[in-house]
Every structure is written in structure tokens, then in C-alpha cells.
Amino acid sequence: MALAIFDLDNTLLGTDSDNAWGEFVVAHNIVDAQTYGALNTKFFNDYLDGKLDVTDYLDFCLEPLGRHSREQLEQWHTQFMQEKIEPFVLPKALELIARHEQAGDTTMIITATNRFVAGPIGRRYGIDIMLASECEEIDGRYTGRSCDIPCFREGKVTRLERWLEETGNDLADAWFYSDSRNDLPLLSMVDNPVAVDPDDVLRAHAEQHGWSIISLRD
């Protein structure tokens, strides 16, 4: 048995759920469309360019959660799943997960996306274990702030190492699947790093180091 670890956005999922949530709240006038929409695009471009300030981004994207009840947010999320996520669920990703599970591997998702957005998507893929950027809650309501170490770049390594220590698991023969240069720190730690429909930086690194490169889209 080994760990099979998956990035979420643009790896298992054929879109970026964080950015898609931003587009959703703009389209449904949950936020100020002009201001929020422009910042959402800027942060997404920063992420693609490998220069995202994750703390600033979490402050931005979590703030609206603090202004609405959990019931309302969950209603919106159900609609979001139908409109922005379900069309981008990748059949080949589901098949890949199934192959690992049939081999007896433990499957998990590790994502920079906050748990409010990412949690139901992970369940859609049938994966129960998820490390994500965390949303602070007080008395059952989101505060609009993040808590814990952001699950991004080296933060993914830190969060995973803590989880391994807490659960008694290890990285022997582990797999990690990702599309992004931002995941190079964690990809470099596992025995089986796999670049999935990778960005240019990750593709070049994978080719240089002899890593597997696959597509879950074609």
C-alpha cells in the first residue's frame, strides 16, 4: 500500500475551482462584480505565473464567506457545483483514482484551494482525505479569515509532513500528481512524481528529471 496524492485544480479537475468560485460569486452578484472580478483575475494570473501571495489571496477570497450564513453559502455551493464544477469532472481522473484504490493505495487530495470550495469537490471524486487551506470558524460561522498554514507550495509539504506524523503514514512508494510549477517542492519529495497536463515550467522540469508526464484530458 502507498499514498496516491492528487492536486485538485487542473489536475483531477479540468478547471481551477478557486478561480471558478470567484467567477460564480461575480456572476450571481454575491460580490461587487467589477472590483472583485478584476482582483480575482489578477490573483489567478499571479498563481499561473508562480508569484501568488497566498496570504493576500486567502484574505481576499475568504472575506465574503464571513458575510453570509452557512446555510446560504451551502446553497450557493450546490449551485456552483452544478454550474462550474460538474462540466469539468474528468472521466480519466476518476479512472486513475479507481486504479489506485484497486491496488490498495490510500488516495488523498492536497490543494491550495480553501476547504469550503474544495471539500465537496473531493467528495465528488470519492476521496475522503483532503489537506486544504483552512477557513476559520467561530460558533459554526465562517469569520472570513484563514487559519493554519496555507496549503500552498512549501506549505503543502509542511501540512503533509504533519499529517504523516499524526497518522503514522509515510511516503514510501508514494505518488503525487500535479499540473503546476507551484507543486515542485512536493513533487520532488515522492518516489513517483507525475506531471499531469503540466504548465511549461513543470513540463520542462519533468522532462529534465525523467518524470512521467500524462494527460487526463485527451
> pLDDT > 90: what percent of the chain?
98
pLDDT of residue 1: 84
Instruction: Give yes or no for residue 218 having a pLDDT over 80.
Output: no
Check residue 89 and give its pLDDT: 98
Span 110-139, pLDDT tens digits: 999 999 999 999 999 999 999 999 999 999
Span 157-165, average pLDDT: 98
Checking if the pLDDT of 63 tops 90, the result is yes
pTM of the model: 0.96
What are the structural domain ranges in the chain? 3-214
> For the domain 3-214, what is the CATH superfamily, name and number?
HAD superfamily/HAD-like (3.40.50.1000)
How many other CB atoms are there within 10 angstroms of residue 36's CB atom? Answer: 19
Mean pLDDT of the chain: 97
Average pLDDT of 193-201? 98
pLDDT value of position 22? 95
Q: At what angle do helices 54-62 and 33-48 cross, to 10 degrees?
A: 150
pLDDT in tens, 84-108: 999 999 999 999 999 999 999 999 9
- Spot the catalytic one: 7, 18, 179, 199: 7
- Strands (DSSP E) found in the chain: 3-6, 106-114, 129-138, 141-147, 175-178, 192-196, 212-214
Is 58 a residue whose pLDDT tops 90? yes
pLDDT at 166: 98
Q: What is the mean pLDDT of residues 202-214?
A: 98
Measured between alpha carbons, how far is 182 from 184 in angstroms, rounded to an integer? 6
Residue 128 annotated to the active site: no
State the catalytic residue, choosing from 9, 18, 105, 183.
9
Average pLDDT over residues 137-152: 96
How many CB atoms neighbour CB 45 within 10 A?
12
Q: Please report the pLDDT score of residue 65 as a whole number.
A: 97
Residue 9 annotated in active site = yes
pLDDT for 26 beyond 90: yes
Decide which of 1 and 2 is more confident: 2
